[in-house]
Amino acid sequence: MGETPRVWRARDIEWTIDRTLVMGVLNVTPDSFSDGGKFLDPRAAVERAGRIAEEGADVLDIGGESTRPGARPVPADEEWRRIGPVVEAVARRVDLPISVDTYKPEIARKAIRAGAVIVNDVRGLRDNEMVKVIANSRAGAVIMHMKGEPATMQENPRYEDVVGEVKAFLAERLRDAVSHGVSMESIVVDPGLGFGKTPDHNTTLLHALREISAIGRPVLVGTSRKSFLESVHSAAGGRRLEASLAAAAVGVQNGADVVRVHDVAEAVQFMRQLATSTRTQQ
């Protein structure tokens, strides 16, 4: 159609969005819902980061505070104690752009200084200080939608129009960030599946990602191992991979540009095959 290719910029890195990008998750926490406790030892975390790179991820997302439903906030010094050594070591030793999954500006600032290039903010850049950190560093950023707070967000979340409300929030946060000096091309938006949403809300959003991408920025989606897939994966003996990939495929076919996953090797291969099969259909 002769459209200019969309890009995502993060400091000196630039991705052209002409295929699905894969963001691999590394949680340096004792309590994340799927990999909690596995990578608290920095050596284990750095080793896992190396494998995520080998497996073909485009970005590594390092988190030090679980935001699963019911999770309690972690003080900034504890968060940095967990991820600081990992961000520093990965930046030195692993050839993969680092995203930091944090909503705290001081953590974002330190992580960028240590080598991170993207801030993945589950609070959607609602904090002015965070907007300044992004603007001043020219880091990339993920603006995610969350209704409520992790501790209580899954207690009967309600919307009049889930797609309209999520889209309006993301568009408004994008406008605000850009008006405060953040470059448009550094932003990716995310509807935040499971963050104050019922399984029905998540499914509705997954089918409406193209409408969300009409905001004008690439869309990231995280389906990986989430509890809204429970009805399928509990029937499969707790295996979450198939359900996660099926939901991610629905997302990609409906407009997602970036997928955030725990099972990187499987997701990379799956996305390649999905792209090939989709092309041969046309």
Q: Which is nearer to ligand HH2, 88 or 121 (CB)?
A: 121
Q: Are 89 and 46 in contact (CB under 8 A)?
A: yes
Nearest to ligand HH2 of 30, 92 (CB atom): 30
Question: Could you give the string, one character per residue 200-239, with x where binding to ligand HH2 holds by CB under 6 A and - elsewhere?
Answer: --------------------x-x-----------------
**Among this protein's residues, is 104 annotated catalytic?**
no
Instruction: Give the number of residues written for the chain.
Output: 282
Q: Which of residues 110-149 bind ligand HH2 (CB under 6 A)?
A: 120, 122, 142, 144
Q: Are 211 and 231 in contact (CB under 8 A)?
A: no
C-beta nearest to ligand HH2: residue: 222
CA atoms within 13 A on the CB side of 205: 30
> Residues 192-222, buried b or exposed e (16+ Cβ, 10 A)?
bbbbbbbeebbebbbebbebbbebebbbbbb
Q: Residues of 230-239 as b/e, b for ≥16 C-beta within 10 angstroms?
A: eeebeeeeee
By C-alpha distance, which of 255, 15, 271 is closest to 5? Answer: 15
Q: Give the gyration radius of the chain's Cα atoms.
A: 17
Question: Residue 251 to residues 64, 109, 117: CA-CA distances in angstroms?
Answer: 26, 31, 25
Find the binder of ligand HH2 among 33, 73, 106, 132 (CB under 6 A): 33
* 29 makes contact with ligand HH2 (CB under 6 A): yes
Q: Catalytic annotation on 260?
A: yes
Q: What is the pattern of x (binds ligand HH2, CB under 6 A) and - over residues 237-276?
A: -----------------------x----------------
Of residues 47 through 86, those in contact with ligand HH2 by CB under 6 A are 63, 66-68
Q: Which residues are catalytic?
A: 226, 260
Q: Where does this chain bind ligand HH2 (CB under 6 A)?
A: 25, 27, 29, 32-34, 63, 66-68, 101, 120, 122, 142, 144, 190, 192-193, 220, 222, 260
